[in-house]
Structure 1
Amino acid sequence: MNYPLYLDYNATTPCDKKVLECMLPYFTLDFGNASSEHHPYGWVAKEAIEDATLHISSLLKIDEKEIIYTSGSTESINAVLKGVYRKLKHKGNQILTVKTEHKATLDVCEYLQEEGADVTYLDVDGNGLIDLNALALAISDNTLIVSVMYANNETGVIQPMEAIAKICKQKNTLLFSDATQAIGKIPLDNFFSWVDFACFSAHKIYGPKGIGFTFAKLESQASLQSFIQGGGQQRKLRGGTYNTPAIVGLAKAIKLGINNLEAERDRLSNLRNQLEEGLSLIEEATINGKKSDRLCNTLNISYEYVDGQQLLAALSQNLAVSNGSACNSASINPSHVLTAMGIGRNLALSTLRISLGKYTTEEDIQQAILIITKEVAKQRASNLLWDRR
Structure 2
Amino acid sequence: MKKPVYLDYAATTPVDPSVANEMIKYLTPDGVFGNPASRSHALGWQAEAAVEAARKQVASLIHADPREIVWTSGATEADNLAIKGAVAGRENAHIVTSKIEHKAVLDTCKWLEHQGVDVTWLDPEPDGSISLQQVLDALRDNTVLVSLMLVNNELGTVTDVAPIGSVLRERGILFHVDAAQAAGKMPVDVTSMQVDLLALSGHKVYGPKGVGALYVRRSPDVRIEAQIHGGGHERGMRSGTLPTHQIVGMGRAFAMAQSGLEQEVQVLESLREKFLAGLEGLDGVSLNGRESGRVPGIVNLSFDGVEAESLMLGLRDLAVSSGSACASASIEPSYVLRGIGLSEEQANRALRFSFGRFSTEEEVAFASSQIVEVVGRLRSVR
Distance of 1:32 and 1:355 partners within structure 2:
38
The answer for the alignment partner of 1:386 in structure 2 is none
For residues 43-82 of structure 1, what are the structure 2 equivalents within 5 Å? 43-82=45-84
Distance 1:372-1:217 versus aligned 2 partners, 3 A rule: same
User: Which structure 1 segments of 5+ residues have no match?
Assistant: 384-389
The answer for the alignment partner of 1:163 in structure 2 is 163
Cα offset for 1:193? Answer: 4.8
> What residue identity is the alignment partner of 1:238?
R
Distance 1:192-1:77 versus aligned 2 partners, 3 A rule: farther
SS of residue matched to 1:242: coil
Distance 1:160-1:172 versus aligned 2 partners, 3 A rule: same
Cα offset for 1:35? Answer: 1.1
SS of residue matched to 1:343: coil
Q: Is the 8 A contact 2:207 2:250 kept in 1?
A: yes
Cα offset for 1:60? Answer: 3.2
Distance of 1:260 and 1:222 partners within structure 2:
31
Distance of 1:219 and 1:248 partners within structure 2:
26
For residues 358-369 of structure 1, what are the structure 2 equivalents within 5 Å? 358-369=357-368
Distance 1:193-1:150 versus aligned 2 partners, 3 A rule: closer
Q: How many residues align?
A: 380
Cα offset for 1:185? Answer: 0.6
User: Quick one: which of 34, 37, 59 aligns to 1:35?
Assistant: 37
SS of residue matched to 2:266: helix
For residues 254-333 of structure 1, what are the structure 2 equivalents within 5 Å? 254-315=254-315, 317-333=316-332
For residues 167-316 of structure 1, what are the structure 2 equivalents within 5 Å? 167-189=167-189, 193-219=193-219, 221-315=221-315
Deviation per residue, 1:319-339 (Å, 9 max, x gap): 000011011122111111111
Q: TM-score, normalised by structure 1?
A: 0.94
Distance of 1:313 and 1:167 partners within structure 2:
47
366-375 or 305-314: bigger deviation: 305-314
Cα offset for 1:202? Answer: 0.6
The answer for the alignment partner of 1:339 in structure 2 is 338
Cα offset for 1:220? Answer: 6.0
The answer for the alignment partner of 2:88 in structure 1 is 86
Distance of 1:33 and 1:293 partners within structure 2:
43
SS of residue matched to 1:148: strand
Deviation per residue, 1:127-147 (Å, 9 max, x gap): 112232121011111111000
Judging by fraction of residues, say which structure has more helix. 1
Distance of 1:353 and 1:57 partners within structure 2:
30
> What residue identity is the alignment partner of 1:140?
R
Distance 1:107-1:280 versus aligned 2 partners, 3 A rule: farther
Identity %: 39
> What residue identity is the alignment partner of 1:224?
I
Deviation per residue, 1:326-363 (Å, 9 max, x gap): 11122111111111111111111111100000111111
The answer for the alignment partner of 1:6 in structure 2 is 6
Deviation per residue, 1:10-57 (Å, 9 max, x gap): 000100111011111110121111111111221111111122223333
Q: Is the 8 A contact 1:8 1:356 kept in 2?
A: yes
219-228 or 298-307: bigger deviation: 219-228
Deviation per residue, 1:196-252 (Å, 9 max, x gap): 000011100100000010000014654300121111211111011011011111110
Distance 1:221-1:112 versus aligned 2 partners, 3 A rule: farther
SS of residue matched to 2:203: helix
The answer for the alignment partner of 2:373 in structure 1 is 374
Deviation per residue, 1:271-302 (Å, 9 max, x gap): 10221232243111100112441111110000
Q: Is the 8 A contact 2:62 2:190 kept in 1?
A: no
> What residue identity is the alignment partner of 1:346?
E
Distance 1:291-1:15 versus aligned 2 partners, 3 A rule: closer
SS of residue matched to 1:163: helix
**Is 1:137 matched up with 2:137?**
yes
Deviation per residue, 1:356-381 (Å, 9 max, x gap): 00111111111001101111111111
Distance 1:227-1:190 versus aligned 2 partners, 3 A rule: closer
Q: Is the 8 A contact 2:72 2:212 kept in 1?
A: yes
Q: Is the 8 A contact 2:75 2:180 kept in 1?
A: yes
Deviation per residue, 1:246-275 (Å, 9 max, x gap): 111111000111111101101110110221
Distance of 2:222 and 2:5 partners within structure 1:
47
**Is 1:118 matched up with 2:108?**
no
297-306 or 160-169: bigger deviation: 160-169
